[in-house]
Structure 1
Amino acid sequence: MGAKLLRDKLLNYFKAGEDQIERIGTEIEHFIVEKDTLRTISYQTEGGIEEILKLLEKKGWQGEEEQGKLIALKSSQADITLEPGGQFEVGISPQDNIKELEDIYFDFLDDVIPILEAKNYYLITLGYQADSKISEIEWNSKERYKIMSNYLAKTGKYAHNMMKGTAALQVALDYKNEEDFIRKFRIANTLSPVLGSILDNSPFFEGKVYDKQALRTKIWSNTDNERTGIVQEAFDDDFGYEKYADYILSRKPILIKSNGQYIATFEKSNYDIFAERDLGKEELEHILTMVFPDVRAKQFIEIRMADSLPPKYSFAVIALWKGLFYNSLILEKIYQFIRQFSLEDVLKARKMIMTKGIEASLGEYKMVEIGELLINWAQEGLTNGEDRYLEPLIDIISNKKTLANKIKSQLNNGKKSSIRDCILNSMV
């Protein structure tokens, strides 16, 4: 298949994703840990994640198996999937308003929390494992993770930390047309270090207190530079569907999925692979997920730089992006604001937040200054009382203190006590 035909397939796919309704979806990753030790629970151990999935099946979730192993669950509005170290992810399908997302999420908690309570486990939201070291965490049984782990072990010293140790909040937003796509994608990439610093919830690394800032940014910066970080093409004057398609096709996918099977592809790029075979929908959707930048595109824009956060903060982040992106006047205002920042400014800021955190700068602005602007604009953009969801972010900005720094300041009372806000229960 020629390069132009490959690009055209992706262009048509992105165009088919255009949507005037403007709904919002999310994925929230969690750790399941022992109450007494905060050590992570593995997939195969007795009473482990496989058993938890089976108990959720009995509550009406529909199971999905791979090679005889239960690896995922579905309901009418949400999916439960597992990350490489057993991180427990709930993905909620796009909804019209934040309350609908919130209700679906709390329904998930109401299903899973009693199961965990009976096993003396916690469900927690942190950006990195609370206590377990990477070497202590089993890989889950998904075939593709075995191939990925072998490949990424050669590309970055923290690749396995990324796979087994991290947890994130992701927000999915619609785009109306290519111009709308360009604006939203460029805005999100520009603001990546701002949100990465403000939403830091990673106080621990390999069982010890992490003495720097923005740990997940540090880990992603040492995973695989070809497929992580900022999509630099977003800052080009001619950025659009075609340029993003070329970004995808020029990357190495590590593996491809064909007829339900995973095949290792090693050093071949997507251009190389699909010059010799058809790019079907299954393969196309798979290669779009095999890049891991802070912001990526499918048939929606996925914003990925937030750590896993307690629920009220998760919905604050969702509200922030909805307020910024789903009001045309606010979108224009924020787009004009971010045009002053170059790619070099953003890359410099992304590096700076790893040491200075929320005290870092983007261009001439402190992160908290931009954060305050964003919240003010989001408040203008939200309707039907949804601006109330922003309160937790207002607290972070006004106190100039991230969740990670707050936890570190409370360690005198012990690690478990310091993360109490990140321990979920059905009454959250």
Structure 2
Amino acid sequence: MSIPQSGGGPIEDFAQLAGLLESGCKPASDWRIGTEHEKFGWLTDSRRPLPYAGERSISTIFSRLEQRFNWQPVKEGENIIGLTRNGANISLEPGGQFELSGAPLVSVTETAAELDQHFAEVAAVTEDLGIRFMGIGAAPEWSHQDMPVMPKGRYRLMTDYMGRVGTHGTQMMYRTSTVQVNLDYASEADMVKKMRVALALQPVATALFASSPFFDGKLNGHKSWRSRIWRGLDNSRTGMLPFVFDEGMGFQAYVDWVLDVPMYFVYRDGVYHNALGQSFRDFLKGELPALPGEKPTLSDWADHLTTVFPEARVKKYIEMRGADCGDRAHVLALPAFWTGIMYDDAALDAAWELVRHLDQASREELRIAASVDALQGVAGDVRIADLAQAAVSLSHAGLSARGYGEEALLAPLVTSLKAGKVQADRWLDLYKDEWGGSLEPLYAASSY
């Protein structure tokens, strides 16, 4: 989840809303790769989730990282809620999921170096505390009541609202983890093509990276329970965005959709003001009940853009949001997969040809099949394994054309395709055989 955004001053012209997205356009020479991953901290002597405060806690880790590795604190009130350094930041999801949002980098090989430095620093400040971190899509055993609550006003408001609008919102907030990549676009037309390919292929990412077959201490019937959760959350702000495939899609069409998504909050001077269910359109007219007479700034608009959660999201870049978190190799394979497709013209064109025949119903059926069966999923006459094989091949060609050696980072996906098994399948095999139906070994097996 995002920290407060810095978008700019007062909105004086409606065109500024689309203009903020359009300002993300940049030439290919300036395109960058930003990788984010979340992970669950746990105490090795009890297998309990890592609390925010105390001797063995998130706040202790933050303090040590600040002191030893020159990270700068981000505070909300008196509480440290994140760290920043050289374009990267470490932040917290609602249940304490520890998130690295990496700096914008030229290649995924640079991402690998950044990730390894992060793991080394975190290990250095936790080795005497009995703390480890799981790379997995959903907490396998912890209940909602087990999860710590992070001291962020945004999350308090969202928790209340999620309980009213869907069946799985708080599960998403407190008990799931993802890996995603943020990629650039050159123009409005480039954004549209990338969004269409991104949305149509998100089920492939869900399948290839599925790692959450356990929830509430038992099998949940899905390879990616994290993906299942997103289907029962808040339909006004999630999903596969059918309008993206319509004639006339562009920045303004995306703006129009976001404007109709109910608000969560307005952030002012360190305080989150409750605007749950209220309208940004009313805010533009100075008629927001939460702040009567006030009009929004571009920073408010940038904040509101972070409160929509489709499978691919536009800000001043595109976020690919369909994957469970996994081990180190999979954390790196996700940005490699999407970079190969999105940052090579031939690969992007071929990817669009691969999926352009899919209609709205087919895309949704693939999304469901991926969460349930991963590579074994089928929707109509489309086998996810076949679609994934073609997509990974296109990504490999695109990465090879870039010349950074990034294609080697697709190795875990190639292995999964050859075996027909993803991380979730391997966890299930171990659970049913070697682990004898116990989830205790999963903690160490899935940890960094």
TM-score over 0.5 (shorter chain): yes
Q: Which amino acid aligns with 1:50?
A: S
Gaps of 5+ in 2: 1-10, 287-293
Deviations 1:260-292 (A, max 9, x none): 321111222211222214331210110010111
Aligned-residue CA RMSD (Å):
1.7
For 1:361-372, what aligned pairs fall within 5 Å after superposition? Answer: 361-372=378-389
**Higher mean C-alpha deviation, range 162-171 or range 99-108:** 99-108
Aligned residue in 2 for 1:128: 138
SS in 1 for 2:83: strand
Percent sequence identity is 27
Structure 2 residue 327 is matched with structure 1 residue 342: no
Query: How far apart are 1:67 and its partner, in Å?
Result: 1.3
TM-score, normalization: structure 1? Answer: 0.94
Query: How far apart are 1:100 and its partner, in Å?
Result: 1.3
Structure 2 residue 195 is matched with structure 1 residue 185: yes
Measured in 2, the distance between the counterparts of 1:42 and 1:178 equals: 43
Query: How far apart are 1:116 and its partner, in Å?
Result: 2.0
Measured in 2, the distance between the counterparts of 1:300 and 1:363 equals: 32
SS in 2 for 1:406: helix
Aligned residue in 2 for 1:92: 102
For 1:71-150, what aligned pairs fall within 5 Å after superposition? Answer: 71-150=81-160
Gaps of 5+ in 1: none
Query: How far apart are 1:26 and its partner, in Å?
Result: 0.9
Measured in 1, the distance between the counterparts of 2:95 and 2:190 equals: 36
SS in 2 for 1:191: helix
Aligned residue in 2 for 1:355: 372
**Higher mean C-alpha deviation, range 343-352 or range 280-289:** 343-352
SS in 2 for 1:64: strand
Measured in 1, the distance between the counterparts of 2:12 and 2:80 equals: 37
Q: 1:163 and 1:43, CA in 2 relative to 1: closer, same or farther beyond 3 A? A: same
Measured in 2, the distance between the counterparts of 1:15 and 1:294 equals: 20
TM-score, normalization: structure 2? Answer: 0.90
Query: How far apart are 1:6 and its partner, in Å?
Result: 6.1
| Among 177, 181, 184, the residue aligned to 1:171 | 181
* Number of residue pairs the alignment of both structures matches: 421
Measured in 2, the distance between the counterparts of 1:356 and 1:313 equals: 18
Query: How far apart are 1:183 and its partner, in Å?
Result: 0.3
Q: Which amino acid aligns with 1:346?
A: R
Deviations 1:131-152 (A, max 9, x none): 3211111211001111111111
SS in 1 for 2:104: strand
Aligned residue in 2 for 1:61: 71
**Higher mean C-alpha deviation, range 365-374 or range 32-41:** 32-41
Query: How far apart are 1:315 and its partner, in Å?
Result: 1.1
For 1:202-213, what aligned pairs fall within 5 Å after superposition? Answer: 202-213=212-223
Aligned residue in 2 for 1:388: 408
Query: How far apart are 1:421 and its partner, in Å?
Result: 4.8
Tell me, yes or no, if the aligned pair for 2:180 and 2:334 is still in contact at 8 Å.
no
Q: 1:6 and 1:225, CA in 2 relative to 1: closer, same or farther beyond 3 A? A: farther
Q: 1:178 and 1:113, CA in 2 relative to 1: closer, same or farther beyond 3 A? A: same
Measured in 2, the distance between the counterparts of 1:223 and 1:127 equals: 16
Query: How far apart are 1:349 and its partner, in Å?
Result: 1.8
For 1:26-425, what aligned pairs fall within 5 Å after superposition? Answer: 26-59=35-68, 60-276=70-286, 277-382=294-399, 383-411=403-431, 412-413=434-435, 414-418=438-442, 420-424=444-448
Measured in 1, the distance between the counterparts of 2:270 and 2:109 equals: 36
Structure 2 residue 25 is matched with structure 1 residue 18: yes
Tell me, yes or no, if the aligned pair for 2:107 and 2:404 is still in contact at 8 Å.
no
Deviations 1:178-210 (A, max 9, x none): 010000001111112221122111132122233
SS in 2 for 1:127: coil
Query: How far apart are 1:161 and its partner, in Å?
Result: 0.7
Measured in 2, the distance between the counterparts of 1:36 and 1:156 equals: 35
Q: Which amino acid aligns with 2:350?
A: K
Tell me, yes or no, if the aligned pair for 2:39 and 2:177 is still in contact at 8 Å.
yes
SS in 2 for 1:423: coil
Tell me, yes or no, if the aligned pair for 1:200 and 1:402 is still in contact at 8 Å.
yes
Tell me, yes or no, if the aligned pair for 1:27 and 1:91 is still in contact at 8 Å.
yes
Q: 1:36 and 1:203, CA in 2 relative to 1: closer, same or farther beyond 3 A? A: farther
SS in 1 for 2:165: coil
Tell me, yes or no, if the aligned pair for 2:37 and 2:99 is still in contact at 8 Å.
yes
Query: How far apart are 1:351 and its partner, in Å?
Result: 2.4
